Amino acid sequence: MKTRSILITGCSSGIGHDAAHTLAERGWQVFAACRQEADCARFRAEGFISPRIDYTEEASIGTGLSEVLKHTGGRLDALFNNGAHAIPGAVEDLPTDALRAIFEANVFGWHTLTRRVIPVMRAQGHGRIVNHSSVLGLVVMPWRAAYNASKFAVEGLTDTLRIEMRDTPIHVVTLNTGPVTTKIRENSIPHFERWVDWRASPRRAQYEARLLKRLYESRGGPDLFELPPSAVTAKLLRALDSPAPRPRYYVTRATHLMGAARRLLPTRGLDWLIAKG
């Protein structure tokens, strides 16, 4: 059986790291892309081919994909768009440039890489594109507006692409992940400190009582319904291995619950439920 190839972004830790190692163990030719060269070097020391891909740098997207295709003879069986970050903060405290920055990383870069991969998959006659969305692409949570907005945008692009690709042999899949043990909270701190002037906010007391503690204080344990990254990898494998993959896969009980709430509750009821959480 021919070895299948996959490009995974955001592999420095968490979900991407687990997916890269698990798929490699299962015989995939894994290209483990990272944003930082130091993380790429770490993967190369483990025997991976690790192109540097920073979604905010279009040149790195082009050179990274070229490196992959050089090793595969111009083929690629699957793409897992995974790399993303968050900018915590209230909507009224988010500068518009902060939204531009997160959309470059979480949406526009994904779109650029995906558009470059589609002609490769068309030419070879098959392919899987898996986009890693979130429960926050289904419902919103307060203090997460930038991330919410970027994931809702990913949902719109992915759903449209899936429908448009119905006349091709390319399958497009969404993973909606709830609370998973990753460094996304820790990694969001530099973005928060860069963009959000919480001390000057009319919500300063709320920042001090809620958000700052969540960001900076050590966690007392996992969040409700939190699962390890391997739970996401398990659903990724189903999306890659199924002859007819589902359009989307939910990961964690929280995603199932909030997906059902979105379908069943009126808007005011859903707002009340989210606000209480």
Catalytically active residues, by annotation: 147
* Cα separation, 26 vs 130, whole angstroms: 18
Cβ neighbors of 165 (< 8 A, separation 6 or more) are 171, 172
Q: Lay out the sheet containing 5-8: strands in order across.
A: 29-32, 5-8, 78-81, 127-134, 170-177, 248-251
At residue 216, φ and ψ (nearest 5 deg) are -105, -25
- Distance, in Å, from the CA atom of 48 to the CA atom of 57, rounded to the nearest integer, reads 22
DSSP conformation letters of 225-242? T-B-HHHHHHHHHHHHH-
Euclidean distance between CA atoms 21 and 46, whole angstroms:
10
d(CA 257, CA 138): 11
Query: What is the C-alpha to C-alpha distance for residues 67 and 135, in angstroms, rounded to an integer?
Result: 33
The identity of residue 9, as a single letter, is: T
Contact (Cβ atoms closer than 8 angstroms) between residue 10 and residue 19? no
CB 217 within 8 A of CB 170: no
